[in-house]
Amino acid sequence: MSKLYYKYGVMGSSKTASALMCKFNYEQQGFRVLLLKADMDNRDISDGKIIVKSRIGLSSACITFNKNENLVEFFNKLNAQNDYDVIIVDECQFLTKKQVEQLKNLSIEYTVLCYGLLTDFKTELFEGSKRLIELADSLQELKSVCSCGRKANVNARFVNGELSTEGDVVAIEKDEINYQPMCYICYCKLLKAKENNNG
């Protein structure tokens, strides 16, 4: 049944692995799957092609789109040649509000599954995530755990090993920037320690 699904979680909650396993399952049953992600996430390249790659090693070639793309028009051009049944979007937090609305329109005829973060490192909703919550037919949290054992619900950003609460919302992981899934209690403890050190 065609619907808009939103599967969200913190960093390290196996969102991308779940997206790739979902793609595999659909393809095993003979469905044609279009795998998409925003072009701002260009960390992973294989043989000159952008890929979706999970932390556990699963990967697949994908097609990228930019934030100005009309996804209905974009899909229709691709679909004319490939006759897709299912659309899977990884890193869907980077979608614009309009693009989520376009995916909702596509979900009238096609199954659309979106995988991504819910909130940024400041614990605020991404634009795309907010609209997905409002429009998705199905919401599912993919859970992860904090180092203390509690459920993780914060994407804590660290810059050169220090907790960061400032900067651009979008900062792809690199040598000096990384993210850790944390529970809110541990996050607040780190925030307090940072404030005490700076005070």
CB atoms within 10 A of CB 186: 18
What crossing angle do the helices spanning 97-106 and 71-82 adopt, rounded to 10°? 40
**Catalytic annotation, pick one of 73, 91, 124, 134:** 91
Size of the chain, expressed as the number of residues it contains: 199
Tokens 């789109």, residue located:
65
91 as an active site residue: the answer is yes
Nearest 10 degrees: CA dihedral of 103, 104, 108, 113?
60
- How many CB atoms lie under 10 A from the CB of residue 155? 24
Give the separation between CA 192 and CA 23, rounded to whole angstroms: 42
In this structure, what token pair is assigned to residue 161?
């090993």
Q: Which tokens in the block code for residue 81? A: 């040649």
Residues belonging to the active site: 91
